[in-house]
């Protein structure tokens, strides 16, 4: 992870080897001032994951995310290329889109009907002809830096973060192996967790708590199985191995009812990979599907989690396609 611009009085955090890990002070999980710093420096100060390209690869398809009072939307332009903008009309600041996701025929502000092209240029602004010094070319939607890596839609509100390839690092290879850029979304669920976003990420990243807290998960893959992956990039994670006679993660015992993702074969059919990409993205790669969580802090002790399931397009086209075993688990 790149060095972060920490507050002057902060203890310098360095990447300790796990064997020498220690605890953050409690305030790191409860103090609103710490969260405010995290919002400004981490969530608004570098790459965060806004979702998956499958929702923004057609003209007018969009997702909207909010972070620290800033609303941003990503929308497919006339060529179906994703673009990201600050979700605020340049006239009176109203929101252009007002739903977590969807599709719009055009970008038009509901307040005074200013409209914009899908590339953000101001197209029509009623009653501005007589204004002095009003240059429509200066009133396009404010663009936000965007990158798509293996299907993950990343945005950088600061505009100054290192390259997205550096951010994702070698994790991109694992994602590519599971074809995350080609998969299609089957379902999305939103829920609120009464916990700090870091606690959720930490909890996701270790399974030593599994035997006591998640016995049903422990029946499917042993909590000490698998290995930790390493390599460049702002991520951590690794594999777990499905128990014998288990073929996928489902409550009924886990028989694989879907073909695996193309290219996943042999030993890989017994692996589930879990990765956390700094700061707000958790992605798990199963033999037959991928699961993406994005985390959105609502306060030091409250986080909204968007959870999405992705499958092979050919699998989703099958008449008997049923993602419910993965979703319900």
Given the rule CB under 8 A, which residues bind a second copy? 19-20, 23, 26, 29-30, 69, 88, 90-93, 110-113, 126-127, 130-133, 202, 208-209, 211-213
* CA-atom Rg of the chain in angstroms: 21
244 with 253: CB under 8 angstroms? no
Is residue 105 within 8 A of residue 59, CB to CB? The reply is: no
Looking at beta carbons only, is 132 or 267 nearer to a second copy?
A: 132
What CA–CA distance (Å, rounded) separates 52 from 154?
A: 9
* CB nearer a second copy, residue 158 or residue 257: 158
Gap between the terminal Cα atoms of the chain: 32
Q: How far is the CB of 308 from a second copy (least distance, A)?
A: 27
How far apart, in whole angstroms, are the C-alpha atoms of residue 91 and residue 109? Answer: 9
Sequential DSSP letters for 143-167: EEEEEEETTEEEEETTS-SPPHHHH
Minimum gap (Å) between residue 8 Cβ and a second copy: 21
Phi (first) and psi of residue 173, to 5 degrees: -65, -40
Nearer to a second copy among residue 8 and residue 18 (C-beta): 18
CB of 191: closest distance to a second copy in angstroms?
A: 20
Shortest reach from residue 90's CB to a second copy, in Å: 8
> Considering the complex, what minimum distance in angstroms separates the CB of residue 206 from a second copy?
9
Q: Could you identify the residue written with the tokens 């200066």? A: 138
Nearer to a second copy, 126 or 253 (CB): 126
- Of residues 223 and 329, the one with the C-beta less far from a second copy: 223
Question: If we measure between CA atoms, which residue out of 10, 46, 45 comes closest to residue 27?
Answer: 10
Shortest gap between Cβ of 275 and a second copy (angstroms)?
20
User: Of the candidates 105, 104, 90, 94, which has an alpha carbon nearest to the alpha carbon of residue 137?
Assistant: 90
Cα–Cα dist 91/292, whole Å: 36
Three-class DSSP category at 222: coil
Q: Tell me the closest approach of the beta carbon of residue 31 to a second copy, in angstroms.
A: 9
Are 152 and 48 within 8 A, CB to CB? no
Measured from the CB atom, the residue of 1 and 24 that comes closer to a second copy is 24
Q: Measured from the CB atom, is 214 or 255 closer to a second copy?
A: 214
CB-wise, 130 or 160, nearer to a second copy? 130
- Map residue 211 onto helix, strand or coil: helix
- Give dist(CA 235, CA 282) in Å, integer: 9
- Please, are residues 196 and 262 in contact by the beta-carbon 8 Å criterion? no
Question: Considering only CA atoms, which of 231, 225, 310 is closest in space to residue 271?
Answer: 225
Least separation in angstroms between CB 113 and a second copy: 5
Nearer to a second copy, 16 or 244 (CB): 16
């Amino acid at each position: 992870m790149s060095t972060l611009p920490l507050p002057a009085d902060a203890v310098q955090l360095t990447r300790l080897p796990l064997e020498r890990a220690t605890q953050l002070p409690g305030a790191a999980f409860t103090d609103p001032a710490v969260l405010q710093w995290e919002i400004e420096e981490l969530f608004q100060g570098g790459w965060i994951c806004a979702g998956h390209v499958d929702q923004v690869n057609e003209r007018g398809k969009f997702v909207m995310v909010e972070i620290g009072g800033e609303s941003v939307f990503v929308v497919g332009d006339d060529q179906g290329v994703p673009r990201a903008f600050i979700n605020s009309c340049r006239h009176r600041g109203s929101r252009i889109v007002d739903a977590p996701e969807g599709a719009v025929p055009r970008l038009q502000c509901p307040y005074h009907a200013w409209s914009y092209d899908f590339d953000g240029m101001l197209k029509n602004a009623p009653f501005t002809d007589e204004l002095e010094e009003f240059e429509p070319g200066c009133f396009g939607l404010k663009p936000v830096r965007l990158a798509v890596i293996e299907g993950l839609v990343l945005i950088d509100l600061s505009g100054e973060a290192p390259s997205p390839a550096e951010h994702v690092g070698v994790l991109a290879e694992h994602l590519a192996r599971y074809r995350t850029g080609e998969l299609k979304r089957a379902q999305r669920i939103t829920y609120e967790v009464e916990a700090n976003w870091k606690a959720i990420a930490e909890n996701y990243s270790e399974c030593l708590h599994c035997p006591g807290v998640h016995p049903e998960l422990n029946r499917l893959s042993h909590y000490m199985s698998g290995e930790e992956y390493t390599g460049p990039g702002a991520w951590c994670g690794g594999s777990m191995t499905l128990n014998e006679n288990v073929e996928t993660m489902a409550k009924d015992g886990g028989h694989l009812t879907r073909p695996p993702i193309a290219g996943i074969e042999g030993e890989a059919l017994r692996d589930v990979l879990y990765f956390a990409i700094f700061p707000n993205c958790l992605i798990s790669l199963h033999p037959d599907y991928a699961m993406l969580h994005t985390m959105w802090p609502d306060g030091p002790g409250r986080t909204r989690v968007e959870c999405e399931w992705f499958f092979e397009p050919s699998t989703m086209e099958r008449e008997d396609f049923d993602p419910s075993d993965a979703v319900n688990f």
